[in-house]
Amino acid sequence: GMGRHQDILNELGEILGGWASGDTRIRGAHERAEFEVRKSRRPDFYEILGVPSIASEMEIKKQYKVKALELHPDRLAGDRYTEKERKAAENKFKLLGEGLEILCDEFSRKLYDEGYDQEAIRERLSAAQQAAHRKGSNYHHR
């Protein structure tokens, strides 16, 4: 399914560049296709953490500890492991941390469950924080 989305995206990009850039319907379709591509590329944090998508925050944290111990860089020191294995574990360890961060935050997890990737979640989080900050600072000026 992944390749198909990418093809459609490329085609739509060409069309958009041409005559129809003002057509919001086509733009909407393009954005949806792009969203699907990004969604299909993002890591499956539930799978990485080894929890079901309905797991509670407590379950996620518990499972994170188990996985983090398995993948901890110190555990993979020594000659038994190749550089490649260590690198793979390091990447997974990093994703584990990102997964914990996203899934244990109610706002981020909701966005993740809706299909947003980490970058989009970060953008929305900082927008929400700025909005909250603005609301808070206006209040003090009166």
105 and 137 fall within a common domain: yes
**What pLDDT, on a 0 to 100 scale, did the predictor assign at position 140?**
53
114 and 59 fall within a common domain: yes
Which structural domain range is residue 71 located in?
45-141
137 has pLDDT over 80: no
**pLDDT tens figures, 51-66:** 999 999 999 999 999 9
Nearest to 108 by CA among 62, 42, 59: 42
First to last CA, the chain: 55
Number of domains in the chain: 2
Question: What pTM value is reported for the model?
Answer: 0.72
118 has pLDDT over 90: yes
Handedness of CA 6, 36, 129, 44 (dihedral sign): negative
> Mutual orientation of helices 118-141 and 83-103 as an angle, nearest 10°?
40
Q: What is the mean pLDDT of residues 32-39?
A: 90
Cα(127)–Cα(87) distance, integer angstroms = 33
49 and 37 fall within a common domain: no
